[in-house]
């Protein structure tokens, strides 16, 4: 946020704080339009699931000598291969050899080997099993059985890593998107909060002023079992009239799939920035300085389910909370969670109202949770029930409603 003269400072701060913590609402559509789109998407998914399968690969025919030639061509392709595409050429040759001579054990063995290199563990296991069928007494049969066990373990790890993809949220309310990329994990956000402990930004006559702009940040990680390692980076951040430069660091941590929790540790560079009030002309930055290093432990929860309160509902309190009246706005997660919505939402139909405060999720008090734990409980699979204890304006006692979770799109 950029701050002007002191005469407008209080108003600017109030307006900024009032909207802090609000997620950007999606383009507004009517309830009927959203339901129609969802029904159309469901129909398309059903049609795709029932769509006839592609015709099977044409099987090769020939003589045993032809099978041998395909075997040799496949071996040559492996020797020459410098890319997955070239390895796939070897696979085609071994498939052709197996088509022509289904009892040719070496074809199935080499097929399993190249499919392993391509990372297609399901196919590799099937090929190795066929090799054991046609050559049960082979000298390397036990080694092949051992290799199948290893491939099954790799399958489990790949499935686990893919299962981590999706939306994650930190204990302090920043949403991250996790994708698997090039055998690693990439976490990205545009909502990282920069605290005063990380950047102390001061303004003439005012003193320290929090940074309200959210920063872009990324984690690029590799996983070794449950252990994580890699790098963290943060983009530039405006601090009044100053600009805080990007930062980067090495990261170490771990992921607990059972608890759906990830812990990352790294060091950030700390800065001070000072903005000077100008009597005439524009205010200006008098300097940005590095003040040291600070250890950070970032805890994320996820992946979140694809459904919660549905489109058109904005969650309040993840980044700040205002109790109303003349109370001050408190930055960061404060253990309060409210909603904003209008009548054209499915959540409204289910009983939720604008400015309701969620006191408990499935019986667990929100004030006992951090932001990530609260979202992990709120989000789930479409159509599953979530019980909410609601505090509503002018109501003396909490209201309990149960909502069938609504897809977020």
Residues 6+ apart with CB under 8 A from 115: 91, 121, 123, 124, 127
SS3 assignment, position 285: strand
CATH, range 64-162:
1.25.40.10
Evaluate if residue 108 carries a pLDDT over 90: yes
Using one digit for the tens of pLDDT, what is the confidence trace for 3-55?
Answer: 333 333 333 434 333 333 344 444 566 777 777 777 776 666 666 666 665 56
What's the mean pLDDT when you consider all of the chain? 88
Pick the more confident residue, 292 or 61: 292
The tokens of 100 are what?
A: 């022509």
User: Looking at the chain, which residues constitute the CATH 2.40.128 domain(s)?
Assistant: 164-301
Q: What percent of the chain has pLDDT over 70?
A: 89
Mean pLDDT of 190-207: 92
Q: Which residues does residue 263 pair with via DSSP β-bridges, in sequence order?
A: 254, 299
Given this model, what pLDDT does residue 26 score?
A: 45
Mean pLDDT of 78-84: 91
Question: Which of the 8 DSSP states describes residue 380?
Answer: B
Query: What's the first-to-final CA gap in the chain, in angstroms?
Result: 30
Greatest Cα-to-Cα distance within the chain, rounded to the nearest angstrom: 94
Evaluate if residue 65 carries a pLDDT over 70: yes
How would you classify residue 385: left for phi > 0, otherwise alpha for psi between -120 and 50, otherwise beta? beta
Confidence of residue 1 (pLDDT cuts 50, 70, 90): very low
Confidence of residue 67 (pLDDT cuts 50, 70, 90): very high
Question: Which of the 8 DSSP states describes residue 139?
Answer: T
Measured in degrees and rounded to the nearest 5, phi and psi for residue 172 equal: -100, 5
Pick the more confident residue, 327 or 110: 110
How would you classify residue 362: left for phi > 0, otherwise alpha for psi between -120 and 50, otherwise beta? left
> What kind of fold does domain 164-301 have according to CATH?
Lipocalin (2.40.128)
Using one digit for the tens of pLDDT, what is the confidence trace for 364-401?
Answer: 999 999 999 999 999 999 999 999 999 998 888 999 99
CA distance 54 to 71: 27
Pick the more confident residue, 288 or 7: 288
Mean pLDDT of 86-115: 94
395 close to 356: Cβ distance less than 8 angstroms = no
Given this model, what pLDDT does residue 313 score?
A: 94
Confidence of residue 408 (pLDDT cuts 50, 70, 90): confident
User: Looking at the chain, which residues constitute the CATH 2.30.42.10 domain(s)?
Assistant: 307-407
Given this model, what pLDDT does residue 61 score?
A: 87
Confidence of residue 406 (pLDDT cuts 50, 70, 90): very high
Secondary structure (DSSP) of 62-99: --HHHHHHHHHHHHHHHHH--SHHHHHHHHHHHHHHHH
189 close to 176: Cβ distance less than 8 angstroms = yes
Given this model, what pLDDT does residue 48 score?
A: 60
Q: In Å, how far are 137, 148, 149, 261 from 153, measured between CA atoms? A: 25, 9, 6, 22
Given this model, what pLDDT does residue 183 score?
A: 76
Given this model, what pLDDT does residue 157 score?
A: 83
Domain 307-407 has CATH 2.30.42.10: yes
Secondary structure (DSSP) of 178-245: EEEETTEEEEEEEEE---TTTEEEEETTTEE----SPEEEEEEEEEETTEEEEEEEE--EEETTEEEP
Confidence of residue 206 (pLDDT cuts 50, 70, 90): confident
Q: Which of 306, 394, 310, 374 is nearest to 346 (CA)?
A: 310
CA distance 18 to 9: 14
Using one digit for the tens of pLDDT, what is the confidence trace for 314-367?
Answer: 999 998 888 887 788 888 899 999 999 989 899 999 999 999 999 999 999 999
User: Looking at the chain, which residues constitute the CATH 1.25.40.10 domain(s)?
Assistant: 64-162
245 close to 199: Cβ distance less than 8 angstroms = no
Q: In Å, how far are 217, 221, 233 from 180, measured between CA atoms? A: 17, 10, 18
pTM of this structure: 0.75
Given this model, what pLDDT does residue 2 score?
A: 35
Q: Which of 291, 267, 268, 278 is nearest to 240 (CA)?
A: 278
Given this model, what pLDDT does residue 379 score?
A: 97
């Amino acid at each position: 946020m950029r701050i002007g003269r002191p005469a407008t400072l209080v108003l600017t701060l109030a307006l900024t704080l009032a909207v802090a913590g609000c997620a950007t609402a999606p383009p507004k559509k009517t309830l009927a339009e959203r339901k129609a789109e969802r029904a159309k998407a469901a129909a398309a998914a059903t049609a795709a699931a029932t769509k006839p399968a592609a015709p099977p690969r044409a099987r090769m025919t020939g003589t045993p000598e032809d099978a041998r030639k395909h075997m040799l061509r496949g071996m040559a392709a492996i020797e020459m291969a410098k890319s997955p595409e070239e390895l796939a050429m070897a696979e085609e040759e071994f498939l052709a050899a197996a088509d022509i001579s289904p009892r040719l054990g070496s074809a199935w063995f080499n097929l399993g080997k190249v499919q392993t290199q391509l990372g297609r563990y399901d196919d590799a296991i099937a090929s190795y099993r066929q090799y054991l069928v046609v050559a049960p007494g082979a000298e390397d049969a036990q080694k092949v059985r051992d290799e199948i066990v290893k491939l099954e373990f790799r399958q489990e790890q790949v499935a686990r890593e893919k299962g981590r993809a999706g939306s994650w949220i930190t204990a302090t309310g920043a949403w991250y998107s996790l994708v698997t990329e090039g055998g690693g994990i990439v976490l990205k956000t545009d909502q990282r909060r920069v605290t005063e402990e990380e950047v102390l930004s001061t303004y003439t006559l005012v003193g320290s002023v929090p940074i309200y702009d959210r920063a872009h940040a990324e984690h690029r990680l590799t996983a070794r079992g449950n252990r994580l390692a890699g790098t963290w980076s943060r983009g530039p951040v405006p601090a009044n009239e100053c600009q805080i430069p990007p930062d980067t660091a090495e990261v170490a941590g771990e992921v607990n799939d059972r608890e759906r929790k990830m812990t990352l540790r790294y060091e950030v560079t700390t800065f001070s920035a000072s903005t000077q009030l100008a009597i005439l002309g524009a205010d200006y930055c008098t300097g940005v300085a590095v003040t040291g290093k600070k250890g950070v432990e970032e805890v994320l929860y996820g992946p979140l389910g694809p459904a919660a309160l549905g489109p058109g509902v904005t969650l309040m309190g993840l980044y700040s909370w205002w109790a109303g009246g003349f109370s001050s706005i408190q930055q960061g997660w404060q253990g309060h969670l409210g909603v904003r919505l209008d009548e054209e939402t499915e959540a409204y139909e289910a009983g939720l109202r604008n400015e309701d405060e969620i006191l408990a999720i499935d019986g667990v008090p929100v004030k006992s949770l951090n932001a990530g734990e609260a979202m992990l409980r709120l989000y789930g699979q479409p159509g599953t029930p979530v019980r909410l204890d609601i505090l509503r304006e002018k109501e003396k006692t909490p209201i309990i409603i149960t909502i069938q979770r609504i897809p977020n799109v």
